Amino acid sequence: MTATRIAMIGAGMIGRRHMQVLLGDPAYAVAAIADPTPAAEAFAKEKNIPWFADYQRMLDEAKPQGAIVATPNQHHVTAGLACIARRIPVLVEKPIADSVRAAVELVEAGKRADVPILVGHHRRHNPIMRAAAETIRGGGVGRVTAVVAMWLSHKPDDYYKVDWRRQPGGGTVLINGIHDIDCLRMMCGEIDGVQAFAANGVRGFAVEDAAAAAIRFASGALGTLAISDAVSTPWSWEWGSQENPFYPHEGRDSYMVTGTKGSLGVPSLEHWWHEPGQHWGDALTRRRVPVKPADAYIEQMANFAQVIAGAAKPVVSGEDGARTLAATMAITESAATGRPVAIDEFMRRG
């Protein structure tokens, strides 16, 4: 079996995580790394991987079969377009772009050139999220009616020493909340409107350190999402799912999806319901939806390799990434204007 040769554009925090997957499986090879920093150059040297300061040169010389774009948000579309121009399938980290207009531009370019784009919403590859979506979409909670979602965590001061993270587009809504929006879309279907508030009172940076959104789904279900990266809590996907061993495991739910026949906590996958004929004061029956854990980043890379081989479609397409981006940016847009934002209209105007 010949290894699938995948190049890295951007070898920072998440770029290293992808390379851990690539270097840990002989089915893959890191074709080259493009990242101008001395740290990236040293990493490439240590691992004996060709290194380039300039990613365009790298794409032309290393000729990878696929490329991963793990640069700052503001650079995803430029690098993605460079891959598409060379007909190289691309895994673009989330968010697909830093504006809806730029996301649509990238998606259209991919379609015109018939080059697939996979967007790095890795949680969609996590068996926990797959089981949650199957349970809900299979009618396990009846008609989804009200949804509560949270991403509440604490980032250390040095996280914000990186300049781009303090600039618009680098804040917690677009970095973290976007994953939760994507999970909500996966479980509960399309989001058609958002009304939100945001605040930056803790750090005082240009980017928000908290946001709260009311969400309307196309199905008619309603939801709320609370986001902050400046609070000490166990209520985030990471602390509940064990997806990333860096975080302690507290097993609390970050999503509560409730419906006419029952409810589901995620990531615990505790499924609750009343038996027919029971009253609201009766104890609920509960079970835990069975799931076999797997590493979401490994699963994501397996999908990417299949996409490169032409054997599968991206689990998260460019269109999906753009729609998730629009629903996420609608939070900042609504917070800035004080008005509700309709997602279809927002997609059209970019």
Least Cα distance to 320 among 223, 168, 179 occurs for 179
- By beta-carbon proximity to ligand NAD, the closer residue of 213 and 316 is 316
- By beta-carbon proximity to ligand NAD, the closer residue of 61 and 344 is 61
CA atoms within 13 A on the CB side of 77: 16
> In the complex, what is the shortest distance from the CB of residue 157 to ligand NAD, in angstroms, rounded to a whole number?
16
User: Do residues 234 and 246 touch, judged by C-beta distance below 8 A?
Assistant: no
Rounded to 5 degrees, what angle do the CA atoms 331, 174, 247 make?
Answer: 120
- By beta-carbon proximity to ligand NAD, the closer residue of 19 and 144 is 19
- By beta-carbon proximity to ligand NAD, the closer residue of 73 and 303 is 73
Rounded Cα–Cα distance for residues 246 and 4 (Å): 28
> In the complex, what is the shortest distance from the CB of residue 78 to ligand NAD, in angstroms, rounded to a whole number?
8
Interaction site with ligand NAD (CB under 6 A): 9-15, 34-35, 37, 40, 55, 70-73, 75, 93-94, 120, 122, 162, 175
Residues 6+ apart with CB under 8 A from 320: 119, 121, 182, 185
- By beta-carbon proximity to ligand NAD, the closer residue of 37 and 278 is 37
User: Do residues 110 and 117 touch, judged by C-beta distance below 8 A?
Assistant: yes
Task: Give strand ranges (E) for the chain.
Answer: 4-9, 28-34, 51-52, 66-69, 90-92, 117-119, 144-152, 191-199, 210-217, 222-228, 255-259, 263-266, 270-273, 285-288, 341-342
DSSP letters of 201-240? TTT--SS-SEEEEEEEETTS-EEEEEEESBS--S-SHHHH
- By beta-carbon proximity to ligand NAD, the closer residue of 175 and 186 is 175
Measured CA distances, 78 to 9, 122, 331 (Å): 11, 22, 24
> In the complex, what is the shortest distance from the CB of residue 186 to ligand NAD, in angstroms, rounded to a whole number?
15
> In the complex, what is the shortest distance from the CB of residue 198 to ligand NAD, in angstroms, rounded to a whole number?
18
Phi, psi of 51 (to 5 degrees): -120, 140
> In the complex, what is the shortest distance from the CB of residue 286 to ligand NAD, in angstroms, rounded to a whole number?
31
Least Cα distance to 124 among 184, 193, 71 occurs for 184
> In the complex, what is the shortest distance from the CB of residue 328 to ligand NAD, in angstroms, rounded to a whole number?
11
> In the complex, what is the shortest distance from the CB of residue 13 to ligand NAD, in angstroms, rounded to a whole number?
4
- By beta-carbon proximity to ligand NAD, the closer residue of 12 and 251 is 12
- By beta-carbon proximity to ligand NAD, the closer residue of 14 and 214 is 14
> In the complex, what is the shortest distance from the CB of residue 93 to ligand NAD, in angstroms, rounded to a whole number?
4
Nearest to ligand NAD by Cβ — which residue? 12
